[in-house]
Amino acid sequence: MNSLRATNRRPRRVSRPRPLLPERNNGERDEEAPAAAAAEMAIEESGPGAQNSPYQLRRKTLLPKRTAAASATASACPSKGPMEGASTSSTEAFGHRAKRARVSGKNHDLPAAPAEQYLQQKLPDEVVLKIFSYLLEQDLCQAACVCKRFSQLANDPILWKRLYMEVFEYTRPMMHPEPGRFYQINPEEHEHPNPWKESFQQLYKGAHVKPGFAEHFYSNPGRYKGRENMLYYDTIEDALGGVQEAHFDGLIFVHSGIYTDEWIYIESPITMIGAAPGKVADKVVIENTRDSTFVFMEGSEDAYVGYMTIRFNPDDKSAQHHNAHHCLEITVNCSPNIDHCIIRSTCTGKRGGGGGGGQNL
């Protein structure tokens, strides 16, 4: 019996371990759902009218990707009207974002900064004028470009009068409307609202003969920043040399003082004018004790000399030693313009060529 049972007994199954499948996260499961939905939609659209749809490819590619996001958005958002729902669903389905409201870029829509508003509107005029009084002419012109209020204050005649007298020393504006013409005006009677600034612009490109100031000017570049184009010389001879080397156009301002025994030979159509307060010709004196004070040579046609005293003052007053020396010596082919000058000579003898007496021109 036992042997019969053993032969009729079924063999026992041996359990074998099953291979482990990789676990899938929620993201992969979510991606499979749109894929299945896309397959179903492809089957549905493969009917007779699917080939006539111009948006067939777009629906197959875009709609499945937005199905999960659209369903989540629809469940989270409250119910909308029919028009809103249609626009929202189409926008979300095709992946377009709603346009943002356009912000106006105009400056007048934006409020001004507190500091800017205070400086341009609320700061008293007296304080602004005090600040502007520390500026030089180029900085003052740049400040005038900031706003309308700064433009009015930066063109104040008092500011420009101070700068003008610092550079040119004139107590009245010296107008220079054209070459070879200079005249002083009364600022109260002039038609221009700011004659000091107008004259400054007309005379700005000239060189200055101011003994003792040239070294101070060139050793303090920070103090005179913005006046790099101005040239200063200690002697008239050096200034005439600068004209020959074409350092400037030929307008020379001779400042207050007595200039003695300088060799002034003019060979080009230069312009030399005195620069001093009050009566200019009395404050600028050019004299020589050994040779002619001014010698105009060929090439000096249309030269201009004005607003100064030209004096010939030899140590030996006898005329026999100075027959060829004069206050003004004008050679051939010259026609200089002598304007507002006082010509004097202390040499005794014949009055010829500026000798023996004085004359105002």
pLDDT reported for residue 302: 87
List CB contacts of 179: < 8 A, sequence separation 6 or more.
271, 302, 304
Task: Determine if residue 312 is left, alpha or beta; phi over 0 gives left, psi from -120 to 50 gives alpha, anything else beta.
Answer: beta
Which domains, ranges and CATH numbers included, belong to the chain?
113-203 (1.20.1280), 207-360 (no CATH)
d(CA 139, CA 132): 9
pLDDT reported for residue 337: 92
How far, in Å, are 276, 345, 348 from residue 288 at the CA level? 21, 10, 15
Q: Residue 139 corresponds to which tokens in the numbers above?
A: 């900085």
pTM for the whole structure? 0.63
Give the CB-side neighbour count of residue 252, counting CA atoms within 13 A: 31
Q: What is the pLDDT along the chain (361 residues), one digit of tens a residue?
A: 555 455 555 555 555 556 555 555 555 555 555 555 555 554 444 555 445 555 454 444 444 444 544 554 545 455 555 444 444 544 444 555 555 555 555 555 555 566 666 666 678 888 888 988 888 888 888 888 888 888 888 999 999 999 999 999 999 999 999 888 999 999 888 888 899 999 999 998 889 999 989 888 888 887 888 787 789 999 999 999 888 877 777 899 999 999 998 889 998 899 999 999 999 999 999 999 888 889 998 888 889 999 999 998 887 666 555 566 778 888 888 889 999 999 988 766 544 444 445 555 5
